[in-house]
Amino acid sequence: MHTTDSTPTTNRRQFLGQLARGSGTLIAGTAVFGQSAPGVHVADDSTIRLALIGCGGRGTGAVMNALKTRDQGPIELYAMADLHQAAMESKLTTIQQARPGQTNVSPDRMFLGFDAYRHAIDCLRPGDVALCTTRAYIRPVHVEYAVQKGINVFMEKPFAPDPAGLHRMLRAGEAATTKGVNILCGLQCRHSPARAALIDQIHDGAIGELSYVQANRLTGRRWMGSQGERSNQLLAQLQFGRASLYWVGSGHMVDNLIHQIDECCWIKDDWPVTCVGMGGREPYSTDCGQNHDTYSMEFTFSDGTKAMCGFRRGLNARTEFATWIHGSKCAAQFSGQTHAATVHMFKDQRTEKDNIVWTPAKDAVSPWQYEWNAFIDSIRNDKPHNEARRAAYADIASLMGRAACHTAQEIKWDDVKNSDFAFVDDLYNLDYESPVPVMPDANGQFPIPGGPGWKEV
């Protein structure tokens, strides 16, 4: 990662914090800002500008949550970047209708192309936020550039599809700490007060000695058919491959279950040392993507405690979306459907509604809103907030699980953390004409994990 030494020692995050607090040192602070970085534009108000990079559903949702923090001070969507003009225009209309008066995106700040992220970030000032919400394959590149420019970052999950990308993310996080740049990640459940209350109960011994954690995300079938000629087009792979091609977005297990895997690590206040697993496809599968249909993983932590995590997409199968904790005294529920803060403690090991003995105060807002409230507060009030390392480590644990299921081998933490494997070697030079990194066979089937020559760690 290329960095610069020109970042000001007093940045716009501090400037905004002084404005928000009505600091008596504002004039002095402004003078220092000007002396440190005469080329940096300082606004005459405390407006935080947002640049949306990747105009999909997750990015749009993140913008909505960010704009809802307006009670802390003015905030607006200022720039957009995407590979598709129609996506930008559609999502801008959606945001304008939902949050009137909070969009200030002129046509010359709607950037198209593989280098659009640079132009959108260049529109921002220190104290503003770049929302990096594209497919995971390019996330580290975007975050690196924002940090280099001294711009705060929100980054969606997954954070990279391979170990090499996560190394880059870790280095970007270290650079952000040095530069005073704040980073928020899309693992929003750690901002839930109800979940934090149960963590406190666990630490106080309420459930006894922790026996094991169980986290499942079991849903309906989602197979991808043959993409025909589109299979050999880079833009098409980026569209249909978010959950179906590993180089694009890590595959559907990591894309979804990373939340529950991170919850297990939060509960344990640790990261797993090993993982074993198994998985496979449904009989007679016609899915042309790369995913297994079933993933079953057993993570082991340094004290020997286990976390069992399951992911499945099957036809007419039982569904579940929850994280459970079992201790020597009783069981507890930590999370529920669609990341709801469904948090309870039970009288014993029976996890039925009629057996609940304790429930914390209900979360007032969604975990997505809690995380943005905290993040904007950190920017306005000069509080360090950097989730890059935690995000990358949650992804390392998720890649451990993926590799364990694909290879049928025990995967150690260091196997992933020390690996330099990358699905794509040169992310900087991708363009509309670049060849596709992976190709299907004559039937449209993309390479399935575990076959000859398969590698991901």
Note whether 100 and 209 are same-domain residues.
Answer: no
Note whether 36 and 127 are same-domain residues.
Answer: yes
Helix (H) or strand (E) holding 167: helix 163-179
Q: Place 31 in a pLDDT band, splitting at 50, 70 and 90.
A: very low
Note whether 170 and 228 are same-domain residues.
Answer: no
Note whether 196 and 182 are same-domain residues.
Answer: no
Q: Place 45 in a pLDDT band, splitting at 50, 70 and 90.
A: confident
Note whether 158 and 214 are same-domain residues.
Answer: no
The 10s digit of each residue's pLDDT in 73-106 is 999 999 999 999 999 999 999 999 999 999 999 9
Q: Place 450 in a pLDDT band, splitting at 50, 70 and 90.
A: confident
Say if CB 67 and CB 42 are below 8 A apart.
no
Cα–Cα dist 83/114, whole Å? 7
Residue 97 placed within a domain = yes
Residue 348 placed within a domain = yes
**CATH number, domain containing residue 332:** 3.30.360.10
DSSP 374-396: HHHHHHHTT---B-HHHHHHHHH
pLDDT for position 451:
78
* Percent of the chain topping pLDDT 90: 88
Average pLDDT over residues 363-384: 98
Q: How many domains does the chain have?
A: 2
CA atoms within 13 A on the CB side of 280: 5
Note whether 182 and 223 are same-domain residues.
Answer: no
Q: Place 433 in a pLDDT band, splitting at 50, 70 and 90.
A: very high
- Residue 86: exposed, middle, or buried by beta-carbon count in 10 A (0-12, 13-18, 19+)? exposed
Average pLDDT over residues 251-267: 98
Is 0.85 topped by the overall pTM?
A: yes
* Percent of the chain topping pLDDT 70: 90
Residue 141 placed within a domain = yes
The 10s digit of each residue's pLDDT in 131-180 is 999 999 999 999 999 999 999 999 999 999 999 999 999 999 999 999 99
Residue 3 placed within a domain = no
pLDDT for position 439:
96
Say if CB 170 and CB 389 are below 8 A apart.
yes
Note whether 355 and 378 are same-domain residues.
Answer: no
Which one, of 221, 245, 187, lies nearest residue 58 by Cα? 187
The 10s digit of each residue's pLDDT in 292-346 is 999 999 999 999 999 999 999 999 999 999 999 999 999 999 999 999 999 999 9
Residue 1 has pLDDT above 90, yes or no: no
Residue 116 has pLDDT above 70, yes or no: yes
pLDDT for position 5:
31
The 10s digit of each residue's pLDDT in 186-228 is 999 999 999 999 999 999 999 999 999 999 999 999 999 999 9
pLDDT for position 304:
97
Residue 428 placed within a domain = no
Note whether 167 and 253 are same-domain residues.
Answer: no
Residue 20 has pLDDT above 70, yes or no: no
Average pLDDT over residues 388-397: 98
pLDDT for position 219:
95
Note whether 198 and 75 are same-domain residues.
Answer: no
Say if CB 46 and CB 127 are below 8 A apart.
no
Q: Which two tokens stand for residue 283?
A: 């009989």
Note whether 107 and 247 are same-domain residues.
Answer: no
pLDDT for position 185:
98
Q: Which two tokens stand for residue 30?
A: 């402004």
Residue 434 placed within a domain = no
Q: Place 35 in a pLDDT band, splitting at 50, 70 and 90.
A: very low
Residue 285 placed within a domain = yes
The mean of the pLDDT values for the chain is: 91
Residue 259 placed within a domain = yes
Average pLDDT over residues 343-360: 98
Domain hosting residue 406, numbered range: 190-365+396-417
pLDDT for position 361:
98
The 10s digit of each residue's pLDDT in 232-247 is 999 999 999 999 999 9
Note whether 167 and 223 are same-domain residues.
Answer: no
Cα–Cα dist 323/343, whole Å? 9
Which one, of 100, 98, 55, 103, lies nearest residue 77 by Cα? 103
Note whether 122 and 215 are same-domain residues.
Answer: no
**CATH number, domain containing residue 119:** 3.40.50.720
- Report which of residues 329 and 41 the model is more confident about: 329
Q: Place 38 in a pLDDT band, splitting at 50, 70 and 90.
A: very low
* Residues with Cβ within 8 Å of residue 121, at least 6 apart in sequence: 51, 53, 130, 142, 145, 146, 149, 151
Cα–Cα dist 190/371, whole Å? 8
